[in-house]
Structure 1
Amino acid sequence: MRPLAVSLLLLLSPMPMQAAEPNTAAAEAWLAKTSIAPPLQVPASLDAWQQKRTEIRAKLNELLGDLPPRPPVSAIQITSREDKGAYTLETLQFDNGAGEIVKGYVFLPKNATAQNKAPAILYCHWHGGQYDIGRQELLQTNATPVAAGPALAAAGYIVLGIDAPCFGERNGQGPDGPQQKGGNGEMTAAKFHLWAGRTLWGMMLRDDLTALDYLCSRPEVDAQRIGVTGISMGSTRSWWLMALDDRPRAAVCVGCMTRYEELIRSGMLKAHGIYYFVPGMLKHFDTEAVIALSAPRPILFMTGDQDTGSPTSGVRHIGEIVAKIYALHGSDTASHFENQIYPNVGHVYLPEMWEHTLKWLDRWVKN
């Protein structure tokens, strides 16, 4: 039997177990009066794609808003260390320069040293309406079949994960302070950032990129062998980070391979929290354009066909387009993009998915 916390169909915010029949007439009426971008057109050549790729990345950064500069690596401090036998568990923190203190965990295998550099994983936790957990997910099985931090450390990886905005020790640390926690705190943070000319999603990714800066700076880390992974919100963070930054070598994304037009048509906009929406995005492109920026680096997607936040039609649509982008890089990159759809599976992280995650990371990050 699967652990209860893993088998629940939690998406990016609490929602019913079964989605109601979509009101397609309403969706079609709204879409008919709105100009949205067509599916990404695959360029005829790799050179043409490289130019298009540069344009898409620039537009994404523009749409995320006027983000303040990331704090320097020197601002990140280790505040505690605990000997856990096979690894050392460190707690780090940094002032993100935007009003918050961010805390995270580093899992450091004992055999990782400046002379014996190790591969590393930036782990992105999920949402699931579990605002109190955040980085603690690395030590729990609320979202994954095993505690990901110790498991990845045992596999030889240095692991870093931070509290995303509104989660963990940042729950109740938004602009309204402790009086607004959980979903209310998330809403106040999103509103504040919109007024400031930026997005909550952009700020979330900015903090993740700060964590990546730090991971690359660690003397024990081989900066050429860094992967990124997560489920749900953590999955979306992972493929956006691959899109915005070339430093991650590979990624594994469980759930949330969501094409937005199909999400609208299925009547499931409610499946994703407010933090996730980027104003103006559909005027320019849908999510296949973001995911395609990972090419030719290896990226694995695993999605259940009963995951109502990621309509299967959209998962397949993204996969068809992105596979063609990978093909532009040559036949040897065909194995770099894998899009697995699991039948009769919802928004969960199955044990077999975890096994596939480890094999993917070992193949494309470690070796």
Structure 2
Amino acid sequence: MHIVDYLNKQARAASARSLPDFDTTESFEIWRKSRQMKFHQMLGIDTYLAQQRTPLQKTITGSVDCDTHRISKLHFQSLPGLYVTANLYVPSGLKEPAPAVLYLCGHHGKQKVHYQDHARRFAQEGFVTLVLDTIQLGEIRGVHHGTYAQGRFDWVSSGYTPAAVEVWNAIRGLDLLCDLDEVDPNRLGVTGHSGGGSISWWLTCADDRIKAMASSSGTGDLASHLGDRTLDYHCDCNFPNNPDGWSSAESYALAAPRPVLVVAPDRDRVFRIDSVQHVYDRLKALYWKLGHENKLDLCAFRAQHMYTPESRKRILSWFLTHLAHKDITPESVEDVDGVRVEEDQLLVYSGKPPEPSRVTTVQEWFIPSPPLPDIRTESQLETVKTNLLDTLRTQILNTIPAKPRAPSYSIEQEYWAGPSFARKFSFSPEADWRLEGELRGLLDTSKHPLAVCIRQSCHRKEEDAYDVLNGVKDDWLRGRIDVRGTGDSTWGVELNWHIRRAAALIGRTITEMRIGDTLCGLDILRHMPEVDSQRIILAGRGEAAVVSLLVALLDGGIDTVVLEDIPSTFASPDDPASLGEGIELKNMTRHADIPQLAALLWPAKIVVIGNKWDRFEWTEKVYDSLGKPGQLLHFGSREAYMDALTNGTITG
């Protein structure tokens, strides 16, 4: 199967899953709260939610008096140094706390200036309204387009997405609103267009203080994002980190049974109306079961990716009904009046943002990585290893299917060449895939140690894959595993960008798939009659070296692992001009990086060829502390490694 077809099939299967059948509202609420906690973890805001929130340091830099309301220009810090610029619209003549709307800006370069019509109209109807800039296009320009344009697939490994920061900033925006005397904290709503429509969903899913939501051009379906390739046009902020492969409806269900209005133009290129209808139908069935079918509505209309008078009036009447508790139809409300304030009157910093600011570097620190553990004894090693292996299997590599020992395979060809034989076989690591492998060695009846290499897409011929093993002596068997994206299953480099984004969106990565492929192929090779299963070398170069490292750790039965030109860390960005197939593993650096993974291989022998990874000395220190039989060998060049391989330094 082609990789694109496979990913599309996985997305369709996720989108087709039914939501649980809840017997009572109470059973739904138990499920929702549990899933919401998981959603917080997925975003990476769970730690911040568990801590005492830092002072907002709200600073008002000016104000604009209008006939019906006052606009305050302000900034606050959602975390120390993480500045958020905003305009606060407060209706004139309030006699009691009023409902409030949080307006989240979409992808427009003018942000709160461009979207001021909506805030003005809400204020005219009595809503305190806070308009938030994004970190991407606000008055301090941060980064949203990581995997979208900059090759930042290390974000997948760290579990970072700008959706998390925008949700966190919005949560702190709610904190700000709740602190205002003019606001009734029990009547908070959120809305926005495009990226703001997406974040409106994610905020509602994350924070129960939202009592009503309207998402304009921000609702989509997983199957459409992949199958219709709308993903290729979407900013990273549209998608939460999704390690468990939730469908859109499974995420959106966290908003139920609160009032939700889905606003969807039927000629939207990036949020196709049929995909919107699909998730809406799923949610409508849920709302109906919960007895709240009147709290979910769809406003579909003929337009491109934009607001219309119809959609703006529907949104306004939605909030008037569900927050202001007024029985008002869309037809009876007025549209925006077109009166606008000049840009320089709404800008918070007037070109002079505060220093220092952490907005431009938030992607580097928002999801923290753990410190290197203290490992000086075998007992300490086992504790760290046990915990990390559990995390790997349940959270990071959780899509690798469980396989029985000695999985089935088919012999495709056997041939002899003088004193040697070759046996080609095919195997299926999971449904829809048929991969190949090979065993080569001497023709005799005794068992021999085995050296296995992982094929890469750059290996045009089968023999090319064995180059890292060319110095292995003749009494060793040699094995080859053609993982996905190599050999007959290869794809063109022009697909790498889409494939890597699509795989992450459904909770997979290419590296994860290849780890599963290698584990399966290795198990087959290990059980062939010629193999001494107690002496196995596993070798890989570059991206395949990362696969070798993780396979050796999970397998636990590898004698020696050879890592040539292994990347230094999962936290390295790719070169967007020459994007490869990647090494990302979802959420990996939340738990460990290359140094920790390598250290936990002890007492296996590790052979490193080429450059050392970052903090290599820490891994060396662990191996030195634990001593024999573990060894960590480094060879600065392929030639030095080949000499050691030939004279038995590595295999002896």
Question: In the alignment, which residue of structure 2 is the partner of 1:44?
Answer: 22
- d(CA) in 1 for partners of 2:264 and 2:146? 29
Alignment of 1:90 with 2:72, yes or no, is yes
* Change in CA separation of 1:91 and 1:290 when aligned onto 2, cut-off 3 Å: same
- Give the residue type in structure 2 aligned to 1:328: K
Alignment of 1:348 with 2:306, yes or no, is yes
- d(CA) in 1 for partners of 2:297 and 2:248? 16
Contact 1:190 / 1:275 at 8 angstroms: preserved in 2?
A: no
Question: In the alignment, which residue of structure 2 is the partner of 1:213?
Answer: 175
Deviation per CA, 1:122-159: give whole Å up to 9, x if none: 001111xx3x32222332xxxxxxx1121111111110
Alignment of 1:339 with 2:298, yes or no, is yes
Deviation per CA, 1:143-196: give whole Å up to 9, x if none: xxxx1121111111110011111112022x45xxxxxxx858996696686675
Alignment of 1:165 with 2:144, yes or no, is no
* Change in CA separation of 1:33 and 1:109 when aligned onto 2, cut-off 3 Å: closer
- d(CA) in 2 for partners of 1:187 and 1:79? 34
How much identity, in percent, do the aligned residues show? 22
- Give the residue type in structure 1 aligned to 2:177: L
Deviation per CA, 1:13-55: give whole Å up to 9, x if none: xxxxxxxxxxxx8742433478963524232313332222123
- Give the residue type in structure 2 aligned to 1:100: L
- What are the residue-to-residue correspondences of 1:223-302 with 2, within 5 Å? 223-281=185-243, 283-302=244-263
Aligned-pair CA distance for 1:67: 6.4
Taking structure 1 as the reference length, what is the TM-score of the superposition? 0.78
- d(CA) in 1 for partners of 2:176 and 2:113? 19
- Give the residue type in structure 2 aligned to 1:76: K
* Change in CA separation of 1:68 and 1:90 when aligned onto 2, cut-off 3 Å: farther
Which stretch shifts more, 230-239 or 268-277?
Answer: 268-277
- d(CA) in 1 for partners of 2:12 and 2:275? 19
Aligned-pair CA distance for 1:62: 1.3
Question: In the alignment, which residue of structure 2 is the partner of 1:109?
Answer: 91
Provide structure 1 residue ranges, at least 5 long, that are not aligned to the other structure: 1-24, 140-146, 175-181
Alignment of 1:310 with 2:289, yes or no, is no
- Give the residue type in structure 2 aligned to 1:295: A
Aligned-pair CA distance for 1:108: 0.8
SS at 2:323 equivalent: helix
Deviation per CA, 1:295-334: give whole Å up to 9, x if none: 221111121222121222321221121112112322xx22
Aligned-pair CA distance for 1:222: 0.8
Alignment of 1:69 with 2:61, yes or no, is no
Alignment of 1:60 with 2:42, yes or no, is no
Question: In the alignment, which residue of structure 2 is the partner of 1:3?
Answer: none
- Give the residue type in structure 2 aligned to 1:49: F
Aligned-pair CA distance for 1:199: 2.3
- d(CA) in 2 for partners of 1:223 and 1:267? 40
* Change in CA separation of 1:101 and 1:68 when aligned onto 2, cut-off 3 Å: farther
Match of residue 5, structure 2, among 28, 45, 55: 28
- Give the residue type in structure 2 aligned to 1:299: V
Aligned-pair CA distance for 1:75: 2.2
SS at 1:288 equivalent: helix
- d(CA) in 2 for partners of 1:202 and 1:116? 34
- d(CA) in 2 for partners of 1:89 and 1:166? 23
Contact 1:190 / 1:199 at 8 angstroms: preserved in 2?
A: no
Question: In the alignment, which residue of structure 1 is the partner of 2:421?
Answer: none
Aligned-pair CA distance for 1:209: 0.6
- d(CA) in 1 for partners of 2:234 and 2:148? 12
Contact 1:68 / 1:98 at 8 angstroms: preserved in 2?
A: no
Contact 2:160 / 2:241 at 8 angstroms: preserved in 1?
A: no
Deviation per CA, 1:75-106: give whole Å up to 9, x if none: 22223222223211101212232643211110
Taking structure 2 as the reference length, what is the TM-score of the superposition? 0.46
Aligned-pair CA distance for 1:228: 0.8
Contact 1:165 / 1:204 at 8 angstroms: preserved in 2?
A: yes
Contact 2:198 / 2:218 at 8 angstroms: preserved in 1?
A: yes
SS at 1:349 equivalent: coil
Q: CA RMSD in A?
A: 2.7
- d(CA) in 1 for partners of 2:110 and 2:147? 15
Question: In the alignment, which residue of structure 1 is the partner of 2:317?
Answer: 359
* Structure possessing the higher radius of gyration over alpha carbons: 2
- Give the residue type in structure 2 aligned to 1:222: D
Question: In the alignment, which residue of structure 1 is the partner of 2:502?
Answer: none
- d(CA) in 2 for partners of 1:137 and 1:195? 35
* Change in CA separation of 1:195 and 1:42 when aligned onto 2, cut-off 3 Å: closer
* Change in CA separation of 1:36 and 1:169 when aligned onto 2, cut-off 3 Å: farther
- What are the residue-to-residue correspondences of 1:70-219 with 2, within 5 Å? 71-97=53-79, 99-112=81-94, 116-127=96-107, 130=108, 132-139=109-116, 147-171=117-141, 173=142, 197-219=159-181
- d(CA) in 2 for partners of 1:316 and 1:184? 29
SS at 1:345 equivalent: coil
- d(CA) in 1 for partners of 2:221 and 2:63? 41
* Change in CA separation of 1:118 and 1:39 when aligned onto 2, cut-off 3 Å: same
Match of residue 323, structure 1, among 246, 262, 284: 284
* Change in CA separation of 1:44 and 1:120 when aligned onto 2, cut-off 3 Å: closer
Provide structure 2 residue ranges, at least 5 long, that are not aligned to the other structure: 326-652
Aligned-pair CA distance for 1:57: 1.1
Contact 1:27 / 1:267 at 8 angstroms: preserved in 2?
A: no
- Give the residue type in structure 1 aligned to 2:285: K
* Change in CA separation of 1:195 and 1:187 when aligned onto 2, cut-off 3 Å: farther
Q: Where does structure 1 differ by over 4 angstroms across 4 or more consecutive aligned residues? A: 32-36, 182-197
